[in-house]
Amino acid sequence: MADTLLKFLFRDAPVRGEIVRLQASWRQMVALHRYPAPVTRLLGEMTAAAALLAANIKFDGALILQVQGNGPVRLLVVEVQPGMRLRATAKLRETAAIGEDATLQQLTNPNGDGRCAITLDPAGRHPGQQPYQGVVPLDGDTIAQVLENYLRRSEQIESKLWLAADENAAAGVLLQKLPQEGGAAARPDVDAWQRVGALTATLTRDELLALEAQALARRLYWEEQLEHFPPMQPRFECNCSRSRSGRMLLALGREEADSILAERGAVEITCDFCNARYAFDAVDVGQLFASGAMREADASTRH
């Protein structure tokens, strides 16, 4: 069965919801990296969360969810490109010792200066245009709590988030309280937010990991009337390329490129997300820098 993201409204409650369950795509990402179990869990929870957040906004571009800190894990990145194309990576410190049950705080935030950032990078962004970025401290025991705080602060939307991941699946549920509409004519269901939240809170981690999204929606909300949007199908896809790697090399500068060439005979750039390797020998590097100025001119007139 394909990975699924469900999006729905509660007919009798001013609440919208999303359920995501990633299995095939998540297993592909896990197989590429083989991180220690606590890192796999955290990155999986972030991947499920990023899919939920991307599906939640009307935006043409990439959503990037990032956690940075001074712990054994110094960086975790999840990107969602349009069409629910996901990729994820983590960077560990070389000497990192990671306990079997290491928490978010132990992994990323031992000094309290860790940060969580959400970036919205518009498609076809022209050079010089800054992507939108919101940054919050890692104040929470779980990434779900950190993101709930983020949503409350930055979007002023009351949100509840449940996330779980292991090496086989990454899954999550997002609920958001909508502003009441209809004024006095409507009969506001004041308990609806609590009721739907309490229903969802009966969910166990095992159920979240084991059940397909549709089965999960039935299990939780069988007494509720749901209005479904067309389901989405998230998938793993890396958008790295030789030309992107070339641009990274240009950014590195000629001097640095030449010194790597002198040392190793070629500059090799490995994609952090999918492990693809792009090698540039002396001839490639020469051509790249000769045409670099021209390419930049192309890029600035394209948009």
- What is the binding site for Zn ion (CB under 5 A)? 238, 240, 271, 273-274, 276
CB of 274 to Zn ion, least distance (A): 3
Radius of gyration in angstroms for the set of CA atoms belonging to the chain, rounded to a whole number:
22
CB of 241 to Zn ion, least distance (A): 8
The four Cα atoms 90, 91, 93, 98 give a dihedral, to 10 degrees, of 10
When the beta carbons of 103 and 275 are compared against Zn ion, the nearer one is 275
3-class secondary structure, 66: strand
Task: Return d(Cα 217, Cα 185) in angstroms, integer.
Answer: 30
* Inter-residue contact 43 to 165 (CB < 8 Å): yes
User: In this structure, which amino acid lies at residue 166?
Assistant: D
When the beta carbons of 45 and 79 are compared against Zn ion, the nearer one is 79
When the beta carbons of 240 and 250 are compared against Zn ion, the nearer one is 240
CB of 43 to Zn ion, least distance (A): 16
Q: Tokens 């245009």 label which residue? A: 129
When the beta carbons of 31 and 198 are compared against Zn ion, the nearer one is 31
Residues 6+ away with beta carbon under 8 Å from 48: 20, 21, 22, 163, 164, 165, 170, 171, 172
User: In this structure, which amino acid lies at residue 214?
Assistant: Q
When the beta carbons of 8 and 236 are compared against Zn ion, the nearer one is 236
Closest listed residue to residue 84, CA positions, set 162, 5, 167: 5
CB of 105 to Zn ion, least distance (A): 30
CB of 15 to Zn ion, least distance (A): 37
